[in-house]
Amino acid sequence: MFIDEIKIYAQAGHGGKGCVAFHREAYITKGGPSGGNGGRGGSVILQADHDLNNLIQQYYVPRLIAKPGEGGMGKGMDGHAGDDLIIKVPCGTLVWRLKDTTPAIQKKMTSPDDVDEDEDVEPENPLFKTGTGLRPVIRTAGGIPAALEVDLSKEKEFDNSKKPIEDKGELIADLTTHGQQFILCKGGRGGLGNRNFATARHQTPRFAQPGEPGTEGEYLLELRIMAEVGLVGYPNAGKSTLLTAISRARPKIAAYPFTTLHPQIGIVEFMPDFKRLTVCDVPGLIDGAHNNVGLGHEFLRHIQRCKVLVLLLDMAGTDNRKPWDDYKQLLKELELYDKALVEKPRLVVANKMDEAAAEKNLKQFKTKFKKVSVLPISAAFDQGMAKFRQTIREEVEKHSAA
Ligand SMILES: Nc1nc2c(ncn2[C@@H]2O[C@H](COP(=O)(O)OP(=O)(O)OP(=O)(O)O)[C@@H](O)[C@H]2O)c(=O)[nH]1
Ligand SMILES: [Mg+2]
């Protein structure tokens, strides 16, 4: 299964709560407060990894929940921090924030300027504030709940259905290079223990801070493969055959449409300078792909990052189609998906030139599109491969420099 778009829920760990304790030791009277601090909660971190090629892990584990921090303890012992949850995603993953479900109290604490001062609403669970900051303090006695209570019955059920997501929300990260990390949800701070609140006038503070909640939210991970060259064409045009001819990728090749069901990447190596180019073969497009006909045009997202597009035409017209109609239709489908795709530098390649009808069709094609330069090849018979490799390299270099 190839997953290139997945909705996930992530939640960072809650900070551990501070401890209320007093030092107790023989012959030491009034030992003073000794409650340790709570540990910070673990964060949810996304890390780009070039060994992965799709988001299948997140399909099976769509809830990413980091560990909470441990509470503080007596004798001045601080709690352990919660472990960060590091999730590996393929290079080329975009992260969209669908919905921010960070608790209102935490937002209020982190951005005090945004708080509307006129608003005089009594909070549901009253919390005391310390003089040193805006962080709440709970008393261990007095009947005030230690943390905000969450009514689970009001929570919407987590839905990870395959419905297309119309509103992608806000783009918050683009993980492109191997090892790049992004903190998706930050763990909450641990609360301070009561020994932090001892003053000359108040030597026995019987309160400590609760930990802060970590941030949480629903996110959309979208993979857009990082390839320099994208192969676009009708089914059976020979895209997979071409990829096989120029690289060591071995996608399935067969004489029926939609042999390739998901994008395939091949690496083309150039000697003697060991230059490498990545080429992406996307499933075939047909008329009306933008209306989800065939495999639809959702796979086109994988060529959005390509520097150069190769429009591969079946010049022999083996499926009783005309190459010039294919060319026009392909451009139309690209434009309907994203206008930026037709503005990308492109190379028109005529495949199956070994077939009898191809030569005649190519002549006709050239008379119809005088300005379009066409590169004739025969991928199955390795004809024109050296020229094709050289051309894509030149094009990529030309457009990388710019
Ligand atoms: N005669 C001839 N046949 C070719 C050539 N290139 C590919 N073919 C044939 O065309 C058919 C389709 O090739 P594929 O490479 O699977 O085509 P594709 O564009 O990847 O097709 P989809 O994956 O379905 O989109 C196969 O039967 C190939 O053998 C060529 O240069 N000459
Ligand atoms: Mg194919």
Q: Which 8-state DSSP code applies to residue 75?
A: T
In the chain, CATH 2.70.210.12 covers 5-223
Cα gap 273→339, rounded to integer Å: 35
Mind listing the pLDDT tens digit for each residue in 250-282? 988 888 888 888 888 899 998 888 888 999 988
pLDDT at 101: 63
The closest alpha carbon to 321, from 195, 194, 233, belongs to 233
**Hey, what are 11's tokens?**
């939640």
pLDDT at 258: 86
Top mutation candidate among 247, 259, 354 for ligand 1, by most atoms within 8 Å of CB:
259
Mind listing the pLDDT tens digit for each residue in 133-147? 555 555 444 444 445
Say how far residue 178 (Cα) sits from the centre of its chain: 13
Q: Which CATH class is domain 229-401?
A: alpha beta
* pTM of the predicted model over 0.85: no
43-47, 109-113, 313-317: segment of lowest average pLDDT: 109-113
Q: Which 8-state DSSP code applies to residue 160?
A: -
Residue nearest to atom 1 of ligand 1 (CA): 352
Q: Which atom, in ligand 1's list, is nearest to the CA of 261?
A: 23
Mind listing the pLDDT tens digit for each residue in 370-389? 888 889 999 999 989 999 99
CA atoms 13, 14, 15, 18: torsion sign: negative
pLDDT at 260: 85
Angle between the N-to-C axes of helices 239-246 and 385-401, in degrees from 0 to 180, rounded to the nearest 10: 90
pLDDT at 399: 83
Look up the CATH architecture of domain 5-223: Distorted Sandwich (2.70)
Cα gap 375→351, rounded to integer Å: 9
Average pLDDT score over residue span 207-220? 93
The 8 Å CB, 24+ separation contacts for 144-148 are: 146/17, 146/210, 147/14, 147/17, 147/210, 147/213, 148/103, 148/105, 148/124, 148/213
The closest alpha carbon to 230, from 357, 338, 368, belongs to 338
Residues 56 and 3: beta-carbon distance below 8 Å: yes
Cα gap 41→16, rounded to integer Å: 7
Distance 305 CA to ligand 2 centre (A): 20
Distance 333 CA to ligand 2 centre (A): 18
110-124, 155-169, 287-301: segment of lowest average pLDDT: 110-124
Mind listing the pLDDT tens digit for each residue in 335-358? 888 888 889 999 999 999 998 888
Average pLDDT score over residue span 113-124? 48
Distance 373 CA to ligand 1 centre (A): 22
In the chain, CATH 3.40.50.300 covers 229-401
Top mutation candidate among 231, 232, 234, 236 for ligand 1, by most atoms within 8 Å of CB:
236
Q: Which atom, in ligand 1's list, is nearest to the CA of 243?
A: 15
Q: Which 8-state DSSP code applies to residue 301?
A: G
Q: Which atom, in ligand 1's list, is nearest to the CA of 351?
A: 31
pLDDT at 293: 77
Distance 91 CA to ligand 1 centre (A): 29
Residue nearest to atom 13 of ligand 1 (CA): 238
